[in-house]
């Protein structure tokens, strides 16, 4: 059992390093399906596993390659921290079915853009991709707003902060996909999920031993995931990420239907 929990952390770390997410997208459903946890316990344990800077090896790898914007990541972290409190409060008090479907629709919209589906349907030439243009610098409060939205999603579902941040950095800030992944991963290294974890714990939801084992696994997995991401061509990276988003959105609809 403990070995399986550690292996789950490694897998979550690989996805975190590869896509700039927290890893909860794999931890939460697996804890529910294979380890018998209810949703709120799984959410709390996943968020707790990511409180420490478990992705620091991946951040160092991306930073050395010149992909991280530290200033933007700090503003995102501030928003994540605030949003995490709201998300945790909502998770323990409201039905999340509708929000999960809206979240899934958002992910499908982003994935369709990455795969250039409109161009395939209407047989038009695709527009320039994010990596072909220059990054747009926007007001600091917009990054905080993105972080708040991501924090609410992460707090409610125990996952998904990076799944909001990365697509929005690419679409609205014209980030290179790898830079968006790297900056998102850096923003998640501060204990931005602490408010949610405290709310869950006060309500009696949390497995600290599982969280600790998964955290150790994430450290190793993030390093390999970030190395893999750096070696993927940008176009391939976007397609792989788009397929991943489609899978996540289908799961969200199925799980909370």
The CA distance from 32 to 42, in Å, is: 6
pLDDT value at residue 112? 74
Using an 8 Å Cβ cutoff, are 163 and 53 in contact?
Answer: no
pLDDT value at residue 158? 76
pLDDT value at residue 118? 57
The CA distance from 36 to 72, in Å, is: 38
Residues sharing a CB contact under 8 Å with residue 36, sequence separation 6 or more, in sequence order: none
pLDDT value at residue 10? 95
- How far, CA to CA in Å, does 170 sit from each of 14, 75, 177? 21, 16, 6
pLDDT value at residue 113? 67
Domain that holds residue 227: 2-256
pLDDT value at residue 256? 61
The secondary structure of residue 52, as a DSSP letter, is: S
User: Measured over all CA atoms, what is the biggest interatomic distance in the chain, rounded to whole angstroms?
Assistant: 54
Which tokens hold the place of 214? 């998964």
The CA distance from 205 to 183, in Å, is: 30
The total of structural domains in the chain comes to 1
Q: At what angle do helices 140-157 and 97-114 cross, to 10 degrees?
A: 120
pTM score of the predicted model: 0.81
* Cα-trace Rg, the chain: 17
Per-residue pLDDT tens digits of the chain, which is 257 residues long: 889 999 999 999 998 998 887 777 789 878 887 888 887 898 899 999 999 899 999 999 999 999 999 999 999 999 999 999 998 888 878 776 776 676 677 667 767 766 666 555 655 554 444 445 578 889 999 999 999 999 998 888 777 688 889 989 998 999 998 999 999 999 999 999 999 999 999 999 999 999 999 999 999 999 999 999 888 887 787 778 778 778 777 776 676 65
What stretches of the chain show up as alpha helix (H) in DSSP?
A: 2-19, 24-33, 39-49, 56-64, 70-91, 97-114, 117-122, 140-157, 161-173, 177-187, 194-202, 208-231, 234-256
The CA distance from 164 to 104, in Å, is: 11
The CA distance from 77 to 240, in Å, is: 26
Q: How many CB atoms lie within 10 A of CB 246?
A: 18
pLDDT value at residue 129? 46
pLDDT value at residue 130? 45
Phi, psi of 67 (to 5 degrees): -100, -10
The CA distance from 197 to 44, in Å, is: 6
The SS3 assignment for 124 reads coil
The CA distance from 240 to 242, in Å, is: 5
Residues sharing a CB contact under 8 Å with residue 98, sequence separation 6 or more, in sequence order: none
pLDDT value at residue 99? 63
């Amino acid at each position: 059992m403990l070995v399986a929990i550690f292996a789950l952390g490694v897998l979550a770390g690989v996805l975190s390093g590869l896509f700039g997410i927290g890893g909860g997208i794999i931890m939460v459903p697996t804890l529910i399906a294979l380890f018998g946890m209810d949703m709120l316990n799984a959410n709390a344990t996943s968020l707790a596993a990511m409180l420490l800077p478990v992705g620091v090896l991946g951040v160092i790898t991306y930073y050395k390659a010149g992909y991280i914007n530290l200033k933007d990541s700090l503003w995102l972290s501030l928003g994540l921290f605030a949003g995490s409190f709201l998300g945790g409060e909502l998770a323990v008090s409201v039905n999340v079915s509708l929000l999960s479907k809206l979240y899934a629709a958002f992910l499908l919209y982003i994935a369709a853009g990455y795969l250039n589906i409109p161009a395939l349907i209407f047989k038009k030439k695709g527009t320039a991709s994010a990596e072909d243009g220059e990054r747009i610098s926007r007001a600091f409060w917009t990054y905080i707003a993105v972080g708040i939205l991501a924090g609410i999603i992460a707090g409610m579902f125990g996952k998904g902060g990076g799944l909001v941040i990365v697509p929005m950095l690419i679409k609205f800030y014209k980030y290179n996909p790898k830079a968006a992944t790297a900056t998102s991963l850096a923003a998640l290294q501060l204990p931005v999920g602490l408010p949610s974890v405290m709310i869950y714990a006060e309500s009696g939801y949390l497995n600290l031993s599982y969280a600790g084992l998964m955290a150790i696994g994430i450290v190793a997995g993030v390093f390999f995931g970030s190395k893999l991401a750096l070696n993927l061509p940008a176009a391939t990276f976007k397609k792989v990420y788009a397929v991943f988003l489609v899978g996540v959105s289908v799961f969200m609809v199925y799980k909370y239907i």
